[in-house]
Amino acid sequence: MGSRTGLNLDYVTLAELEAARWAGVMGVATFNGARTAHGPPGLALDAAVPVAEVQTPVLCDSEGLCEVWRTQQKVEWGKHGSVRYARTSGMLFGCISVPESNDAPPAAAAEQTSLYCSTERAYGEILGTLDALGYAHLVRVWNYVAEINRDTHGSERYRQFNAARQAALLASGRPVTGNVSAACALGAAVGSPLVVYFLASQSAPSFVENPRQVSAYNYPPRYGARSPVFSRATVLHEPAGMTLFISGTASIVGHRTIHAGDAAAQTRETITNIEALLTEANRVTGTGEFTLESLACKVYVRDPSDLPVIQAELRAALGRAARLVYLQADICRRDLSVEIEATAMVDSTAAA
């Protein structure tokens, strides 16, 4: 585990999590069906710790995977509606799981589908929690949507999700362009609930866009009547240092997918996009500390048969010591084979 005094990220197995007895755990996301058995003596986590259970298989690891967010600051846990949260004096981690209802009629419009309603509810509760607790700024959001590429009611489910997310943000008076959180939206197992977990702050982060790409919130209508709402990256500022959150990044230049059908080339293009974001993040923050070597990466692979070539490209670019975890997931566009999200942390002494 890391030793910095600000926000920390660790990727561990469930066994490692339960053996570590870490103090200051703000939240956990589990993958591949790993479950934290809260309560019995000997386990690491208090029952109050928010846990997002994501039904997305882990590749290269049969033990499951836990993503652990923690801090050395004092943590207070609680629940607001259906949102479980942990907060410090300046930062909040939260998660919500919303099953989809079967109540929508077969001929429902996109605005009446079960996914639309679940997404609108999830974001309504998240934003209501932030308002009630006084954390004004969403910094990073993770969304896991069952069958994200399937068409229902005349629309792809990812587009239904985007429409509902944007509607909820607008209803709460929040922006849907410009200063919006970093985010990703990936597929999850058939029949699994919508799972959203997030980090928020009392102070505004810095927002970073990629000069090689059209901002997602400015995509043309061909990608849906309501654009995705996320920044390419954000930087959280804490007294202890900075955390860079790079959104789910793929082989997109401008607004178009390139190298369709070539997982190796898509991986290389994705790395080029991440390098561009690192350059911009360093420019925005006035530091040169954000580098490829500083990143912890979560790699989403659509087809597990592509994993060897994707791993080879990432080893060549990042080195064998890179912090990489691999998940099997459908990606927001059918012609994308790989998506990479990344996080990097810089202590205040390095950033000075």
**Cα dihedral value 302, 305, 311, 312, nearest 10:** -130
Q: Residue 100: left (phi > 0), alpha (psi -120 to 50), or beta?
A: beta
Q: Are 294 and 322 in contact (CB under 8 A)?
A: no
Is 339 labeled as catalytic in the residue annotation? yes
Long-range contact pairs involving 188-193 (C-beta distance under 8 Å, separation at least 24) = 188/54, 188/55, 188/56, 188/144, 188/145, 188/146, 188/148, 188/329, 189/55, 189/56, 189/146, 190/146, 190/147, 191/146, 192/55, 192/144, 192/146, 193/97, 193/98, 193/99, 193/100, 193/118, 193/146
Q: Using CA atoms, how far apart are residues 56 and 114, in angstroms rounded to an integer?
A: 21
What CA–CA distance (Å, rounded) separates 12 from 18? 10
- Tell me the C-alpha to C-alpha distance, in Å, between residue 181 and each of 12, 27, 107, 261: 26, 18, 33, 30
From 100, 313, 339, 341, the catalytic residue: 339
Phi, psi of 55 (to 5 degrees): -95, 70
What interhelical angle do 157-171 and 114-133 show, nearest 10?
A: 30
Of 333, 204, 344, 203, give the one whose Cα is nearest residue 278: 344
Catalytic residue list: 339
